[in-house]
């Protein structure tokens, strides 16, 4: 099973927007670019919403059937580990092995020595095509990286073999994610990680490093975009090098997590990907649910009321809702509008605050991030929320498709 060159992770907390999301991929195909949709949902999300991996599979299959989509598509067990993987084994054919918790926990001394011995040929001045200067690799540097990452890769191997035992080798896509950690990984770290991945025999097709700068959920990149561009280009060069050197799968590519809404990065990524003739997996950050809220607000009446009520509850339950996402959001709490004020807003005011249009003066990145993590409130509303999704399906679907198509697919994959 092979992941196509371009793919995009799409989320759908309440399993209502399968077709609306797929429509963005149909539009891309019509414009001559093939992007594989990957429905992803993490254990954390399933727990908060009360859904099951089988629901995601059903939704993906039915959207694909309804739209007559004949190209590849996948269902991703997102951010799983050894304790959470089992419930995903039947429904998923894409597994994101999250080993970030093991970063920095050293493997035993013998294992470290063996790793360094095996990869001693990397030491000295290493030339990597696409990186201007030779990398000067010393043994202490290699040991430092091995101490940091070797055990994490070993753990990825354990999870991979566990999945392979159940599904059979070659019957699923493997992604390794190390993004949910504080310290970014340099291109050099990535090289060591891939060397270890190859030793471990994991046929990794996509890898999600922690890039420098901040990838907050649902808002633009915060950091030095020039530095990001350099790092991204070097990561691409390292991947190409590692594929050759270690016989890793040819389709191996970078996966960018919390990748939606990174508008300032897409033009740079587009250029780098074209120049390197490289693929990418862009994992969006569950922002389809925000498009649902925007659609409800635009619908007015009880739709607007629901969006306002979600905000009021989110404002009150700030700590509880933001806690699990603390490392991937950045909200200026004191700048959040008071719920009484939001109650007086009309359709356009709330939709404008929420929609990620950086040129719109009404856009409010604090309110947007808070509502991003507030889907638990909507889940608790139960039928009041989901029946409104049905009632206002048209206006919501238009927002969902437009968001993926205009704000993501076109700038990143088509350079528009
Ligand atoms: Zn992630």
The pair of three-digit structure tokens given for residue 412, joined into one six-digit string: 């990143």
Q: How far is the CA of 45 from the centre of ligand 1 (A)?
A: 12
Ligand 1 centroid from CA 361, angstroms: 30
Backbone angles phi, psi at 219, to 5 degrees: -130, 175
Distance from residue 285's CA to the centre of ligand 1 (Å): 8
Can you tell me the mean pLDDT for 347-359? 96
Q: Please give the distance, rounded to the nearest whole angstrom, from the Cα atom of residue 303 to the centre of ligand 1.
A: 31
Q: Alpha-carbon distance 250 to 253, whole Å?
A: 9
pLDDT band at 280 (very low <50, low <70, confident <90, very high): very high
Q: Is the pLDDT of residue 317 over 90?
A: yes
* Cα 133 to ligand 1 centroid, rounded to whole Å: 31
| Cα–Cα dist 268/228, whole Å | 9
CA of 125 to the centre of ligand 1 (A): 33
Q: What does the pLDDT look like over 358-392, one tens digit per residue?
A: 899 999 999 999 999 999 999 999 999 999 999 99
Are 86 and 105 in contact by the 8 Å Cβ rule? The answer is no
Cα 79 to ligand 1 centroid, rounded to whole Å: 7
Q: Would you say 8 and 281 are in contact if contact means Cβ atoms under 8 Å apart? A: yes
Span from the CA of 40 to the centroid of ligand 1 (angstroms): 11
42 Cα–ligand 1 center, Å: 9
Contact 283, 253 (CB under 8 A): no
* C-alpha 191 – ligand 1 centre gap (Å): 20
Q: Kindly state the average pLDDT of the residues 49-70.
A: 95
Ligand 1 centroid, distance to 168 Cα (angstroms):
25
pLDDT at 285 over 90: no
Query: 68 — alpha (psi -120 to 50), left (phi > 0) or beta?
Result: left
Token pair listed for 271 = 């250029």
Helix residue spans in 18-120 (DSSP H): 18-30, 43-49, 53-67, 109-118
Q: Distance between CA atoms of 14 and 17, rounded to whole angstroms?
A: 8
CA dist 104 → 145, 149, 185, 275, 317 (Å)? 9, 6, 12, 34, 33
Q: How far away, in angstroms, is 127 Cα from ligand 1 center?
A: 31
CA of 246 relative to ligand 1 center, distance in Å: 25
From CA 248, how far away is CA 243, in angstroms rounded? 5
- Distance of CA 187 from the midpoint of ligand 1 (Å): 18
Rounded distance from Cα 11 to ligand 1 centre (Å): 12
Rounded to an integer, the average pLDDT of 268-285 is: 96
pLDDT of residue 275: 97
Task: State the pLDDT at residue 353.
Answer: 98
Cα distance between residue 413 and residue 273, in whole Å: 9
Residue 229 has a CB neighbour count (10 Å cut-off) of 16
DSSP-based helix, strand, coil % in the chain, nearest 5:
55, 10, 35
pLDDT classification of 143: cutoffs 50, 70, 90: very high
**What pLDDT score was predicted for residue 44?**
86
Which is it for the CA torsion 366, 369, 372, 378, positive or negative?
A: negative
CA–centroid distance, residue 327 to ligand 1 (Å): 11
The matching CATH number, chosen from 3.30.310, 3.20.20, 1.10.8, 1.20.1070, for 6-286 is 3.20.20
β-partners of residue 177 are: 98, 208
* Ligand 1 center to 311 CA (angstroms): 25
- Inter-residue contact 299 to 389 (CB < 8 Å): no
**How many CB atoms are closer than 10 A to CB 182?**
9
Mean pLDDT of the chain: 96
Task: Please state, in angstroms and rounded to a whole number, the distance separating the CA atoms of residues 233 and 10.
Answer: 25
Sort strands 135-137 and 206-208 into parallel, antiparallel or unpaired.
unpaired
Q: How many angstroms is it from 176 CA to the middle of ligand 1? A: 10
Domain boundaries, the chain: 6-286, 288-400
Report the distance separating Cα 293 and Cα 296, nearest Å: 5
How many residues can be counted in the chain? 416
Quote the ligand 1 centre to 282 CA distance (angstroms).
Answer: 10
pLDDT of residue 366: 98
């Amino acid at each position: 099973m092979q992941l196509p060159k371009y793919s995009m992770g799409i989320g759908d907390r309440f399993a209502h927007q399968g077709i609306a999301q797929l429509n963005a991929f149909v539009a891309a195909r019509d414009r001559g670019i093939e992007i594989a949709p990957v429905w992803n949902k993490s254990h954390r999300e399933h727990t908060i919403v009360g859904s099951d991996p089988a629901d995601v599979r059903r939704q993906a299959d039915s959207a694909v059937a309804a739209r007559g989509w004949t190209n590849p598509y996948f269902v991703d067990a997102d951010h799983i580990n050894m304790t959470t993987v089992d419930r995903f084994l039947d429904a998923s054919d894409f597994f994101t092995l999250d080993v970030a918790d093991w970063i920095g926990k050293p493997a035993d001394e013998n294992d470290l020595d063996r790793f360094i011995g095996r990869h001693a040929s990397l030491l000295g001045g290493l030339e990597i095509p696409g990186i201007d200067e030779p990398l000067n690799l010393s043994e202490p540097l290699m040991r430092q990286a091995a101490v940091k990452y070797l055990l994490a890769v070993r753990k990825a191997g354990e999870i991979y073999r566990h999945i392979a035992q159940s599904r059979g080798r070659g019957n699923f896509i493997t992604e390794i994610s190390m993004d949910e950690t504080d310290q970014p990984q340099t291109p050099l770290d990535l090289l060591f990680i891939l060397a270890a991945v190859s030793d471990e025999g994991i046929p990794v097709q996509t890898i999600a490093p922690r890039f420098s700068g901040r990838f907050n959920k649902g808002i633009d990149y915060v950091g030095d975009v020039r530095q990001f561009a350099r790092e991204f280009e070097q990561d691409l060069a390292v991947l190409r090098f590692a594929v050759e050197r270690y016989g890793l799968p040819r389709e191996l590519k970078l996966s960018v997590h919390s990748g939606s809404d990174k508008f300032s990065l897409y033009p740079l990524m587009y250029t780098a990907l074209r120049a390197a003739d490289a693929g990418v997996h862009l994992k969006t950050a569950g922002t389809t649910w925000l498009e649902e809220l925007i659609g409800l607000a635009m619908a007015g009446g009880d739709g607007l009321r629901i969006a306002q009520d979600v905000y009021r509850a989110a404002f009150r339950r700030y700590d509880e809702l933001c806690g699990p996402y603390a490392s991937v959001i950045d909200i200026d709490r004191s700048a959040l509008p008071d719920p009484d004020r939001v109650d007086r807003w009309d359709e356009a005011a709330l939709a404008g605050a929420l929609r990620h249009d950086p040129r719109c003066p009404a856009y409010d990145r604090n309110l947007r991030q808070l509502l991003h993590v507030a889907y638990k409130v909507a889940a608790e509303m139960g039928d009041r929320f989901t029946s409104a999704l049905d009632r206002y399906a048209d206006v919501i679907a238009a927002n969902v498709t437009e968001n993926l198509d205009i704000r993501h697919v076109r700038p990143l994959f088509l350079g528009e």
